[in-house]
Amino acid sequence: MKTRPQLNLLSVSTVESAILDIIQTFETLHGIEVNIEFNTTPKIKEKNLLLENIDIVISTQELIEQLTQQNILLKGSTKVLGKTEVVMAKGQNCLAPKISSVSEFIDLMMRSNEIIYTTASSGIYIDELFQILQIKNSIESKCKRFSTGRNLLDYLCLCNKTTAPDHWIIGLGANTEILQYASAGIELLSPLPLDIRHLTTYSMAALIHSEHLVVAQQFIHYVHLPQSMELLRKFGLNQNT
């Protein structure tokens, strides 16, 4: 029996929902099995991809460019998926107000009972932002950091069922991950104010040593068809910002 061709992807979890839907349709249309592992950009950066059985990497544009310069990713195979934005989230029972200015953001951070963010790309920005705004020392005791957005949002879901409305737990993370938890009672509270807005561009590229380069490039092309890009937009990746 002839085995199905396989592709192995290593991807940031920031694009998880959209890319899983795209993979499912691609497998059905082309008869190709796609395996995917999700991780954070810092963890992907730590991997020795030359020793990994990976065909395509999806990560921040910055890391994709670094890996291309290191002759790990194939030059000319890079395609941009879109941009995510760091936003604030809360449980549906939390009475915290929406904010629109940097001073309101600082006030919300000072008044919150817990502030949660990750050790991944969005969390690195938030940690640096707290230092720039000179509030890190004041709020450090109530900050909790999680290795992934999923862990952060699972914690927020749990707290949503057990905490009082006046106990403010504010999550800070990528809009794409927060949108995945809307059905679980997690609400997008506000984007960050314009002066401290933070966007991250995500891209994909093929590994230079991939044994399935033709199929990898076929998948990259499929992701950039209009119907796939529309799905990425639906899940919060913005190609125009």
- pLDDT for 50 equals 83
Cβ atoms within 10 Å, residue 86: 23
Q: Indicate the CATH number for domain 6-82+201-234.
A: 3.40.190.10
The whole-angstrom separation of Cα 166 and Cα 173 is 22
**Model confidence over 78-87: pLDDT tens digits?**
999 999 999 9
Quick one: average pLDDT of 4-14?
A: 89
pLDDT at res. 220: 96
Model confidence at 3, pLDDT cuts 50, 70, 90, reads low
Amino acid at 131: Q
* Confidence class for position 102, pLDDT limits 50, 70, 90: very high
**Does position 29 have pLDDT exceeding 80, yes or no?**
yes
pLDDT score of 168: 96
CB–CB of 150/116 below 8 Å?
no
In CATH, 84-196 is 3.40.50.720: no
Q: Locate 110 and state its tokens.
A: 């000072």
Same fold, 6-82+201-234 and 84-196: yes
pLDDT confidence of residue 160: 87
Q: Are 163 and 107 in contact (CB under 8 A)?
A: no
Q: Is the pLDDT of residue 57 over 70?
A: yes
Does residue 240 carry a pLDDT above 90? no
Q: Which of 9, 16, 13, 51 is nearest to 33 (CA)?
A: 9
Does pLDDT of 12 surpass 90?
A: yes
Q: Parse the chain into domains and list their residue ranges.
A: 6-82+201-234, 84-196
The CA distance from 151 to 128, in Å, is 21
What's the mean pLDDT in 7-18?
93
**Which amino acid appears at position 75 of this protein?**
K
- pLDDT value at position 241? 52
Average pLDDT over residues 87-111: 95
Q: What's the rounded mean pLDDT across residues 128-143? A: 97
- Beta-bridge partner residues of 188: 89
Per-residue confidence (pLDDT) for residue 5, from 0 to 100: 74
Average pLDDT of 108-115?
97
The Cα 56–Cα 35 span in angstroms is 10
Residues 37, 52: contact at Cβ < 8 Å? no
pLDDT band at 238; cut points 50, 70, 90: confident
Tell me what the pLDDT averaged over the chain comes to.
Answer: 93
CA distances from 163 to 95, 168, 171, 213, 217 (A): 11, 9, 14, 51, 48
pLDDT band at 147, cuts 50/70/90? very high
